[in-house]
Amino acid sequence: MKKLKLIYNPFSGNKSFKFDLDVCIGIFQKGGYEVHPFRSMKEGDITKHIGDMANDYDVMVVSGGDGTINIVVNAMMSRNMNIPLGIIPSGTANDFATYLGFKSGQVEECCQAIVNTKPIPVDLGLVNGKTYFINVCAGGLLTNVSQTVDKDVKNALGSLSYYLKGVEQLPSFEKIPFRITTSKEVIEENLYLYMIMNSAGTGGFSKLSPQSSIQDGMFEFLAIRARPFIELPPVFLKMLTGEHINDSKNILYIRDSYFKVECLKDDFKIMESTVDGEMGPKMPFELKVLPKAIGVFANPKRV
């Protein structure tokens, strides 16, 4: 039989995935896989487990949120594990899984896709030559929202908790001078926040980068320009529908395969970036696209 490693975070989202374990294992076994589950219990144990496990698995499956997926991807890439990745979303926002066509609670559909379809090759981002991400690298204001939202509130309200926390931070917005270097140009401008996107959404916003493709070897750099506070609410409303892309007055939008991001304000309090919602490297940093670096199972109705 082929071997499948199933890694799950029992604390993600509403913590209900444990009730779906038997369904998952049953579908995988019927599909010809010998299933080896691993339950995450504490910070760092997924990385250690993948680092220690035998390199003879045919498929890696992860159930959790975007942060758990990021941990698995980084552990796999650090070991050069060239096996496909299956995702069963069970976190709060599940941005990358949403782009793949899967929603939280669609356990059977996810497992059937893993068993019955072929993985598609997708791009990854690499920051400073050592930190990988599959969905988004972000920085500036609001980008620490996922770390500052109380877990119980996040589980109760889901993506709405991100919006509420973001609105709470709006009065404290201050312009931040950035230097953005791409393979073609250097831009210096005052911004509030930026997002370097692989897929279309993050933080529960599913249409932030509607032109994104996870297979084109390019990332979309999306930033909110430092404009008067009174002009911001309409911009955020446009971001819900994807209409902000055409708002060049308030939005900086660039497509490229390389970015260097520098904050020109030495005392800016949030110098760290975030990668897939987890804490990432401090600015300045360099980022490049690794084209079609990993195979991922997607909903055949979506891709």
**Residues catalogued as catalytic:** 278
Q: Which of 73, 5, 2, 66 is nearest to 39 (CA)?
A: 5
Nearest C-alpha neighbor of 111 from the set 214, 14, 38, 6: 6
Give Dmax (Cα) for the chain.
Answer: 61
CA distance 262 to 281: 12
Chain length of the chain: 303
Strands 251-256 and 258-263: unpaired
Nearest CA to 137 out of 175, 180, 171, 105 is that of 180
Structure tokens at 182: 């791409």
Relative to beta strand 285-296, strand 120-127 is antiparallel
> Which structure tokens are listed for 74?
């980084």
Dihedrals phi, psi of 184, to nearest 5 degrees: -120, -25
Q: What SS3 class is residue 8?
A: strand
For the packed helices 21-30 and 107-116, what is the interaxial angle rounded to 10 degrees? 20
Cis geometry, peptide bond prior to residue 284 (ω within 30 degrees of 0): yes
